[in-house]
Structure 1
């Protein structure tokens, strides 16, 4: 029973292939590919279809990406299916449009490109067998899991030492007093530390020390 089912599938495949081949030949002949060229076009389409399908099965078995193989399989299937539809009465084979003649004429170059890319596409890198690993003496080291590093205990923060009060010359204090008196007479308010620092051109710590002596 199994052999009968296989034979029926095989006969169906032969009939479908012969009809598709004939449709591609008729379309190529109508597009200006006369003589042996009209027979070469369907052969080119079928060969690309078979090559793409075989490459697709190999890539699937190896677990490699199959996007490129699917692309060229779709291109070849579209060419075969398009010829079958075009010769079903939807296209006047006596007046083939120019774009279709250009497409048929350029098909051999496209098929050659697709076949070349399918055949020479890089496959997955083979993994070394245990025997090869033992012969070369190279063995992949197991990945080490980093051990958890215990964070050191945080030491208690020590209080910051009080800043040293800069020594202020008496002459600078006297000058600052004049500046403060002038500011009070002009504004009616005591001079603040920032204004005093700007007027005297001294650092902030020294301005604080002078302001403390003027208070």
Structure 2
């Protein structure tokens, strides 16, 4: 147990040191490029937040390509600042192209953060809420007494498909038809969306 805690502490300390150094390098480059005062300190925060947001989306989202693109962009900004401060760049005479890149970074970071915040994981939240609503409704509704001696086969309850999930499913179905030339089936929908079988069948019926 102590060995495990020591290993975790060492990793945590190493991460703090690396983050502090990268933060300082980004600040120095931004300051040298004409962004003085609080603006120079805001640049490393922006780069690190975009890096964390892209990594989180890589682990939890469906749009891996977009997440990888923004992760590489943020990593390039961080790594570029580290290399630039290693003596390869005259910090007193920063080239014009670097000033342009630094000045344009806020727009790039805003675009990346906005796109990462408005992608597929919202549909997964809708799935969870829909399943919770169905479970609560089934518990709240009392059982009706039998009105006939004749037994009939049980009718499965209707599955409500959230609008956000249905919109996302239409995009997945369109992409599947474009790629394969055939309509998507419920089994493929279940795999792509990560939903239960009844939900996948209900979505397929509405496509």
When normalised by structure 2's length, the TM-score is 0.61
Of 71, 74, 80, which aligns to 1:73?
A: 71
Cα distance change on mapping 1:113 and 1:131 into 2, 3 Å: closer
Give the equivalent residue in structure 1 for 2:115: 117
Partner Cα separation in structure 2 for residue 43 and residue 22 of structure 1: 10
Structure 1: 4+ residue segments shifted above 6 A: none
Q: Identify unmatched segments of 5+ residues in structure 1.
A: 144-215
RMSD of equivalent CA atoms: 2.5
How many angstroms does 1:55 deviate by? Answer: 1.3
**Match of residue 84, structure 1, among 82, 89, 97:** 82
**What is the alpha-carbon distance in structure 2 between the residues aligned to residue 86 and residue 130 of structure 1?**
52
Distance 1:130 1:81 in 2: 44
Q: Choose 1 or 2 for highest CA Rg.
A: 1
| Residues 36, 138 of structure 1: alpha-carbon distance in 2 compared, 3 angstrom cutoff | same
Q: How do 1:157-196 and structure 2 match up within 5 A?
A: none
Aligned partner (choices 29, 43, 46) of residue 44 of structure 1? 46
Structure 2 residue ranges without an equivalent (≥5): 139-155, 160-197, 202-207
Between the aligned partners of 2:84 and 2:131, the Cα distance in structure 1 is 53
Return the TM-score normalized by structure 1: 0.59
